[in-house]
Structure 1
Amino acid sequence: MNLEDYTVLDLTWLLPGPYGTMLLGDMGAEVIKIEEPTRGDYARWLEPVVEPTDSGALFHSVNRNKKSVTLDLKSDEGREAFLELAADADVVFEQFRPGVVDRLGIGYDDVRAVNEDIVYCSLSGYGQDGPYSDRVGHDINYVGLAGLMHDTVSKDGSFPAVPTYQIGDKVGGMFSAFMIASALLDREAGNGGQYLDVSMTDVVASLGTGQSWRAFMSEEVPEDEQSPSAMTAPCYDVYETKDGEYVTIAAREDKFWEQLLEELGREDLAEYQFATGADAEYAREELQAEFETRTRDEWEEYLSDETMFAPVNEFDEVFEHPQLESREMVREMDVGDGDPFSYVGFPAKSSSDIDDMRSPAPEFGEHTHDVLSRVLSEDRLTELEENDAI
């Protein structure tokens, strides 16, 4: 699995696009991050800072395997330089609000005029059309509109809970990378370049596919199965342990429910697998009493692999868990002369090498001269410098 023959011009910042372009970079693509010359990607300046680089931890986390070029796209010289880079690139990935790239003169039609085989991806909150297309937003807005937040409720269902992960941002970036790779494959088949319009809200809505029947069949589904709590049952819930930690049980299939009850010595609860109302409350209380007899780690040792059990890890425990360690999901690279910086590794394995730790996040403008010298003369580079366009 290698994208080393492809060049991506990355016009994204903060989290959504950079996560997607990092995945492409992990798979070998040359990712050239275009940053405006005064501040660059905002994530560079968010605390905490990774010493000795003076760049933020968020920036380092999602910008490995990239090059940084500073370029003022609002200037004629900067726009012309960008289009010369785009003429030799394979992908342009932008994250501006709809219409901005066209006003800058670097939109799909502008780039296609110099490179008809370009794969051009626009990632935005709501997509390039529709009544919300021009609306500003952040992750909480997208997951709210797409229904995920309404289904992320407190245990008593009293209020929607705010997810602690930026779900729309990350799945938007991931789906963009998937679409870009697919478009490149389509181009290899002789179908030319194409334009990709990815909406973070649409992607979050797609995550609801497994529950969408509740909306489409609402008149046929009993009311108690239309609510978010329909996903929970005594056999599919979270229980507190002796040490105040938590475990998850997901024994929705009969054989796993029977196995769990056998190991707990509570076969008397067999009929309560999907109980509702007072029966569900009784079964949960009984199971809760059982789980309070051991600590979370003791339960992990005690229960077999056939019980649909897993611990609820605190965030700082996740990457120390032996399962993630065995999968090499924590990787390190040196950044400058400081201590190694820890990264979350590429989330898939392949029989073809994936060299996901080739280089740490780039310094601001680190590759400006090297990259632009591919398409510009020294005189033009000097002119760009004199006009503060790089």
Structure 2
Amino acid sequence: MLPLDDLLVLDFSTLLPGPLASLFLAEAGAEIIRVERPGGEDMRRFPPRFGETSAPFAALNRGKKSIEIDLKSPGALAQLRPLVERADIVIEQFRPGVMERLGLGYEALRELNPRLIYCSISGYGQFGPRAQEAGHDINYQAIGGLLGQSLKRGQEPPLPPTLVADIGGGAMPAVLNILLALRQRERSGLGCHLDIAMADAMPTFTWYSLAQGQVTGSWPEGGEGLLTGGSPRYGLYATADGWFLAVGALEQKFWEIFCEALELEPALRDDRTNPEATHAAIAAIIAAEPAAYWRSYLEPRDCCCTLVRSLEEALADPHLTARGLLEAQAEEPGGRRLVSTPLPLAPTFRERAPGLRRVPASGGDQEMVRDGSGE
């Protein structure tokens, strides 16, 4: 028995935010029906290929079902009506107004199912001056002040490896708000419309700088904040062989262990006096030895120092294996398998033995449209 195994979700979304949100719900037991355009959604064509589908698509869509409908056709709502009437949740990711023009907006579907929780994920939300603007993850990070926290003026900028807006501003807030809406529905008996804007969450990630700037009047520039390069206690240091050591020795006890291990000059251990000099001295020490040396020398000292791993190395880490994050596998229609997207769900809320679940073929569950039975 899983917590969401009595719920039906109609997922009209594409690419990453919505499908990742519905994957969370699927892993907790919900039945997910992907509503795709004829020929399947765009993610099915993303490289690399994985048998009969795409590896990125497979990683996000295991255990779901798929139907194909031309949402622009006059009969789209009639085809979907049996499913809408028994659905608990709808997830959509079009620009504001598109579902309304298709006759599938919240008000129209609420008439068929007052208990429906209708979750709209978009870049800037359903209203506001930017509501109709196009954008992607990097744009939402840029306009929300998050990206600027790590950029120093005049220096070559690094490209963030994380899709913070898509995941931290889209998928996860969608799941959180859907669960809150389910709790509210238990009391009221009614559903609601959730307006999830990826850009809205970007200031959340600047919480420290936001508090600092308001109180002191000094807004930290990129690379100057405690957690963005302004402190020698928290940052990346290059090793002799060109790799990096991640240092997070913020608390004094960890800082003291770290400084003692490096045999840092006593005058530089008070990093408030001249943080630039302290940083430069540490950088020179770390640069004198290769990555393997610092991994064996510093990591066992429990001072928040960790050698940066490649993704391949991270997936082989015994801790990740022990946590069960790599157990869920997706099987594409041709029989090939890969590890599904790891989800940080508490073990008690996901399958005890996640095992193998299929990736839906595009329109592979089309019979559900004809009778709406779900059988």
TM-score by length of 2: 0.90
The answer for the alignment partner of 1:209 in structure 2 is: 207
Note if contact 2:65-2:364 (Cα within 8 Å) is conserved in structure 1. yes
For 2:96 and 2:263, the matched residues in 1 are separated by 59
1:288 paired to 2:283: yes
Contact 2:12–2:93, Cα closer than 8 Å, also in 1: yes
Deviation, structure 1 residue 227? 4.8
Structure 1 residue 299 corresponds to structure 2 residue 294: yes
Matched residue, 1:379? none
Q: 1:42 to 1:227 in 2, by over 3 A?
A: closer
Following superposition, the deviation at residue 188 of structure 1 comes to 1.8
**How many angstroms apart in 1 are the aligned matches of 2:348 and 2:27?**
15
Query: Could you say which residue in structure 2 is the equivalent of 1:25?
Result: 26
Q: Report the equivalent of 1:383.
A: none
Deviation at 1:6, TM superposition (A): 0.4
* Shift of residue 63, structure 1, vs aligned partner: 1.1
Over the matched positions of the two proteins, sequence identity in percent amounts to: 31
- Aligned amino acid, residue 321 of structure 1: D
Which secondary structure does the structure 1 equivalent of 2:35 belong to? strand
String of CA shifts for 1:241-282, please: whole Å, max 9, x gaps: 23221111111111111111122222525534345xxx3332
**CA pair 314-352 structure 1, distance change in 2 beyond 3 A:** closer
- 1:329 equivalent to 2:325? Answer yes
Does structure 1 conserve the Cα–Cα contact (< 8 Å) formed by 2:331 and 2:359?
no
Q: 1:334 to 1:102 in 2, by over 3 A?
A: closer
Check whether the contact 1:64–1:357 (CA below 8 A) recurs between aligned residues: no
**Alignment root-mean-square deviation, CA:** 2.2
Does the residue aligned with 1:287 lie in a helix, a strand or coil?
Answer: helix
Q: Which runs of 5+ in 2 are unaligned?
A: none
> Match for residue 345 of structure 2?
348
Deviation by residue 1:20-71 (Cα, 9 ceiling, x = unmatched): 111111111101000011x3210101221101x1x11111111112100111
Match of 2:123 among 119, 122, 125: 125
Amino acid aligned to 1:167? V
Please list, as runs of the form range in 1=range in 2, the aligned pairs for 1:35-114 lying within 5 A after superposition: 35-37=36-38, 39-51=39-51, 53=52, 55-114=53-112
In 2, Cα distance between equivalents of 1:59 and 1:227: 35
Match of 1:311 in 2: 307
85-94 or 182-191, larger mean C-alpha shift:
182-191
Deviation at 1:78, TM superposition (A): 1.7
In structure 1, distance between residues paired with 2:249 and 2:272: 10
Q: Is the CA contact (8 Å cut-off) linking 2:151 and 2:222 kept in structure 1?
A: no
Deviations 1:91-122, CA, capped at 9 Å, x for gaps: 01110100111111111001100100110010
Alpha-carbon separation, structure 2, partners of 1:31 and 1:312: 37
Q: Distance in 2 between matches of 1:115 and 1:287?
A: 62
Secondary structure of the structure 1 residue equivalent to 2:11: strand
Secondary structure of 1:348's match?
Answer: coil
The answer to whether the 8 Å contact 2:119/2:193 transfers is yes
Q: 1:269 to 1:57 in 2, by over 3 A?
A: farther
Q: Output the CA distance in 1 between the equivalents of 2:110 and 2:129.
A: 27
Q: Report deviation, 1:73.
A: 1.5
Which whole-Å deviations, capped at 9, do the CAs of 1:283-303 have from their partners, x for residues lacking one?
223212322343323322222
Q: 1:352 to 1:97 in 2, by over 3 A?
A: closer
Q: Does 1:168 align with 2:165?
A: yes
What does 1:229-268 align with in structure 2 at a 5 Å threshold? 229-231=224-226, 232=229, 233-266=231-264, 268=266
Distance 1:84 1:339 in 2: 33
Counterpart residue identity of residue 41, structure 2: D
d(CA) in 2 for partners of 1:201 and 1:213?
Answer: 19
- CA separation in 2, counterparts of 1:282 and 1:80? 70
Is the CA contact 1:235–1:274 (under 8 Å) kept in the aligned structure 2?
no
Instruction: Give, in whole Å, the separation in 2 of the partners of 1:12 and 1:274.
Output: 49
Which residue number corresponds to residue 155 of structure 2?
158
**Segment drifting more, 167-176 vs 265-274:** 265-274
Separation of aligned partners in 2, 1:78 and 1:352: 35
Provide the secondary structure at the position in 1 that maps to 2:241: coil
Q: Conserved in 2, the CA contact under 8 Å of 1:85 and 1:372?
A: no
